[in-house]
């Protein structure tokens, strides 16, 4: 994290990211985030870190319910970037998803 803070574009990127998240959550009607998730037809792998301080477990469960064919991998000791903290576990979950879909 310290390396990220030193990047010259860090705060601009964080501001833009936060604005994008707020915009996505506040869209209404058919353009709303949850409505869009309901329309995804592809199997979806979600990854949640149990120590995530940005996304609650409740929100992860809501996302899992919103997608038609979702799998939720919960890693109790991971934070918000679980795929960087536990790359092997996340890669295994994606391999299993691909195998179940007939891909490799």
pTM: 0.72
Residue 70, SS3? strand
Number of residues that make up the chain: 104
% of the chain with per-residue pLDDT over 90: 58
Going by pLDDT thresholds of 50, 70 and 90, the confidence category of residue 31 is low
Mean pLDDT, rounded, of the chain: 87
Pairing of strands 44-49, 70-75: parallel
**Lowest-confidence range among 2-6, 27-31, 42-46?**
27-31
- Gap between the Cα atoms of 63 and 68, Å rounded: 10
- Gap between the Cα atoms of 4 and 81, Å rounded: 14
Residue 41, SS3? coil
- Gap between the Cα atoms of 57 and 60, Å rounded: 5
Secondary structure percentages of the chain, helix, strand, coil, to 5:
55, 10, 30
- Gap between the Cα atoms of 14 and 86, Å rounded: 23
At 64, phi and psi to the nearest 5?
-60, -40
Specify the pLDDT at position 72.
Answer: 98
Instruction: Give the bridge partners for 72, in sequence order.
Output: 46
- Better-scored residue on pLDDT, 26 or 53: 53
């Amino acid at each position: 994290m310290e390396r990220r803070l030193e990047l010259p574009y860090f705060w601009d990127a964080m501001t833009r990211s936060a604005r994008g998240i707020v915009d996505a959550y506040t869209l209404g009607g058919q353009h709303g985030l949850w409505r869009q998730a309901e329309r995804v037809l592809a199997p979806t792998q979600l990854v949640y870190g149990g120590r995530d301080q940005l996304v609650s477990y409740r929100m992860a469960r809501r996302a899992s319910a919103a997608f038609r064919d979702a799998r939720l991998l919960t890693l109790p000791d991971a934070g918000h970037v679980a795929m960087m903290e536990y790359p092997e576990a996340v890669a295994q979950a994606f391999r299993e998803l691909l195998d179940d879909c007939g891909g490799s």
